[in-house]
Amino acid sequence: MTILDGKKLSHKIRENVKLEVQKLQKNNITPGLAVILVGSDPASAAYVNMKSKACKEAGIYSMVHEMPESISQENILEIIEMMNNNSNIDGILVQLPLPKHVDTTAILEAINPNKDVDGFHPYNVGRVVAGLDGFIPATPYGVMKLLEEYDINPKGKNVCIVGASNIVGKPMATLMLNANATVEICHIFTDDLKKHTLNADIICVGVGIVNLIKDDMVKDDVIIIDIGINRLESGKLTGDVDFNAVSQKCSYITPVPGGVGPMTIAMLLENTVTSAKNRPIVKG
């Protein structure tokens, strides 16, 4: 069994991002990321904090717009419009989930697709589904990079994705399909999850249920990508896979923490630098 070490690969990618930022700075461009955080959910605040710290370390300018839970949709749209028009900002990220009174689609659609470094705007979603260039959501993008690093090619493999969210499961399925895998997507209404996971060469799971994937649900030498992040009462972080049991049977597995999580941050930085490289040249 081999551990897919996301921590190690993310460091390598972040070092490369740093070099790319230095090159851009020679042309007087400092990549900029605007993060919008609404409300006081501790997990969201922690993610935003990690993202802005990572930006700083890479030399990317970041600004965080913190807004109270009660903020109106119009006020959020105003900030997005300001960031769309700010030539120092290359990426705009609205931390999800948003409060119930806010229409998430309307917010995501207001972001200039050229600054949509999360890849959640329907324009980028569509481009990626069509196999065209577009911003790829950081988590599934990080998974594909991790597989590539370990020479794992999904072509012709049976891939079972567990979880069908817009942020993880659906884009993960798209990238696997684009990589010529045979893809199944399981979700909360799937009857007999085990029937599907047992058939899989690669399982990608991200639903937030501790120990959802047990050793009797996987075949020998399966490749396990655990995208779940759950905090146990002890404070310890764990994924959606029964790591101790499943790691006895699989060929590769991502640990939690230290697997997919650090890759997400690294790919967000990479998307921001890509956006900065494509900054429109302003004449005059």
For the bound state, the minimum distance from the C-beta of residue 231 to ligand GUN, rounded and expressed in Å, comes to 14
Binding segment for ligand GUN (CB under 6 A), chosen from 24-32, 74-82, 92-100, 221-229, is 92-100
Residue 260 DSSP SS3 = helix
How many Å apart are CA 176 and CA 70, to the nearest integer?
39
For the bound state, the minimum distance from the C-beta of residue 249 to ligand GUN, rounded and expressed in Å, comes to 29
CB of 140 within 8 A of CB of 177? no
- Catalytic (active site) residue 51: yes
* 139 lies in the binding site for ligand GUN (CB under 6 A): yes
Q: Which residue has the tokens 């990220």?
A: 93
Which among 229, 272, 278, 282 is positioned nearest to 92, based on CA atoms? 272
Name residue 53's beta-bridge partners: none
Question: Which residue in the set 9, 34, 38, 93 belongs to the binding site for ligand GUN (CB under 6 A)?
Answer: 93
Nearest residue (CB) to ligand GUN, 114 versus 139:
139
Residue 48 amino acid letter: V
- Catalytic (active site) residue 95: yes
Question: Which residue in the set 4, 89, 92, 94 belongs to the binding site for ligand GUN (CB under 6 A)?
Answer: 94
Question: Which residue in the set 37, 108, 138, 266 belongs to the binding site for ligand GUN (CB under 6 A)?
Answer: 138
List C-alpha distances in Å: 43 to 47, 52, 182. 6, 14, 34
CB of 31 within 8 A of CB of 61? yes
Question: Which residue in the set 52, 95, 114, 271 belongs to the binding site for ligand GUN (CB under 6 A)?
Answer: 95
Among 90, 115, 116, 118, the one annotated catalytic:
118
- Catalytic (active site) residue 118: yes
